[in-house]
């Protein structure tokens, strides 16, 4: 891992078009400003990892077999849906 | 840094999905965790007994991977989505009226544990057939499909 020291207000560049700037520092929290092309998705790592894991679980090959049972259960439940929320 | 040009999508009704059936949808950046899955075929899930089903299948044309999907109307009474101008432009949408939202269903060992991913909706342009997975942090990753939330 490359480790760099930066002061508040300073930045690093990644590739040709990603800039990460240290915006503020308070206690053990750092605020970062990220400039990146719109096709580059910027996420907190834990959000990315959880979403990736969820997608992988959803893609499990035996999902489709069980989907039929889920559909039956959903149908039997649907009439109970109420709009009073 | 935050772009305030956000528009709420009138999520097209489930009936709008008919136009997508049998079509190939292109996800330029893949799905999270599946960056190389870009081309997907969209079809209705047909149960063996011929009964109607609310599910659809998004099947990768690049790998042996498929995702069960459901329209948000079957899941949440109130599920507003904000779509930024960047997203609209990435999907080459002339209008947000062309966009539909679909939710990935996670089927687990026990049927009653089935959840729907409200945090990672798929947004598809029904005209350009381009799609992407959004990340909407304020919605849960696992919303129970069958058991009402205790709230």
Range(s) of the domain holding residue B14: 6-144
Number of compact structural domains in chain A? 1
In a domain, A6, yes or no: no
In a domain, B149, yes or no: no
pLDDT in tens, B81-94: 988 888 889 999 98
Distance linking the first and last C-alpha atoms of chain A: 50
Closest CA to B146 of A84, A76, A54: A76
Q: Say yes or no to pLDDT of B12 above 80.
A: no
Instruction: Please determine, for the modelled complex, whether the ipTM score is greater than 0.95.
Output: no
Binary contact (A51, B145; C-beta < 8 A): no
Dihedral angle sign, alpha carbons of residues A39, A45, A46, A51: positive
Q: Which of A43, A69, A72 has its CB closest to that of B135?
A: A43
Q: Where are the alpha helices (DSSP H) in chain B?
A: 85-90
Range(s) of the domain holding residue A33: 11-71
Cβ atoms of B108 and A57 within 8 Å: the answer is yes
Chain B hits for A49, Cβ within 8 Å: none
Closest CA to B149 of B126, B103, B127, B118: B118
Chain A hits for B142, Cβ within 8 Å: 54
Cβ atoms of A37 and A17 within 8 Å: the answer is yes
Least confident of A30-39, B20-29, B74-83, B111-120: B74-83
- pTM for this model (two decimals): 0.86
Chain A hits for B66, Cβ within 8 Å: 59, 63-64
Q: Say yes or no to pLDDT of B9 above 80.
A: no
pLDDT in tens, B44-59: 998 887 878 889 999 9
In a domain, B26, yes or no: yes
pLDDT for the residue A60: 80
Number of compact structural domains in chain B? 1
Q: How far is A27 from chain B (nearest CA, A)?
A: 23
Count the Cβ atoms, other than its own, within 10 Å of residue B24.
Answer: 12
Q: State the Cα angle at B28 between B27 and B34, rounded to 5°.
A: 70
Q: With an 8 Å Cβ cutoff, is A4 touching chain B?
A: no
Tokens of B75: 């899941």
Q: With an 8 Å Cβ cutoff, is A67 touching chain B?
A: yes
Q: Say yes or no to pLDDT of B26 above 70.
A: yes
Tokens of A33: 């400003």
Chain A hits for B55, Cβ within 8 Å: 67, 70-71
Q: How far is A53 from chain B (nearest CA, A)?
A: 7
pLDDT in tens, A21-48: 999 999 999 999 999 998 788 999 999 9
Q: Say yes or no to pLDDT of B18 above 80.
A: yes
In a domain, B37, yes or no: yes
Q: Where are the alpha helices (DSSP H) in B63-147?
A: 85-90
Binary contact (B55, A71; C-beta < 8 A): yes
Count the Cβ atoms, other than its own, within 10 Å of residue B149.
Answer: 8
Binary contact (B104, A64; C-beta < 8 A): no
The CATH number assigned to the domain holding B44 equals 2.30.290.10
Q: How far is B90 from chain A (nearest CA, A)?
A: 8
In a domain, B151, yes or no: no
């Amino acid at each position: 891992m490359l480790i760099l020291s930066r002061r508040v207000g300073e930045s690093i560049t990644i590739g040709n078009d990603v800039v990460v700037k240290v915006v503020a520092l308070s206690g053990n929290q750092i605020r970062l400003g990220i400039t990146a092309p719109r096709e580059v998705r910027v996420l907190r790592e834990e959000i990315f990892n959880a979403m990736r894991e969820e997608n992988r679980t959803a893609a499990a090959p035996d999902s489709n077999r069980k989907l039929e049972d889920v559909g039956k259960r959903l149908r039997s439940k649907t009439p109970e849906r109420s709009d009073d929320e | 840094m935050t772009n305030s040009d956000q528009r709420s999508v009138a999520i097209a009704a489930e009936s709008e999905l008919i136009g997508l059936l049998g079509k190939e949808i292109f996800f330029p950046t893949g799905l999270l965790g599946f960056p190389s899955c870009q081309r997907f075929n969209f079809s209705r899930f047909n149960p063996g007994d011929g009964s109607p089903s609310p599910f659809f299948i998004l099947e990768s044309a690049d790998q042996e991977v498929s995702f069960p999907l459901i329209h948000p109307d079957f899941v949440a009474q109130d599920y507003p989505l904000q779509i930024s101008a960047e997203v609209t432009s990435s999907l080459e949408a002339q209008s947000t009226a062309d966009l539909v939202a679909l939710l990935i269903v996670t089927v687990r060992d026990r049927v009653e544990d089935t959840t729907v991913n409200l945090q990672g909706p798929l947004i598809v342009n029904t005209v350009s057939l381009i799609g992407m997975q959004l990340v909407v942090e304020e919605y849960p990753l696992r919303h129970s499909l069958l058991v009402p939330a205790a709230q």
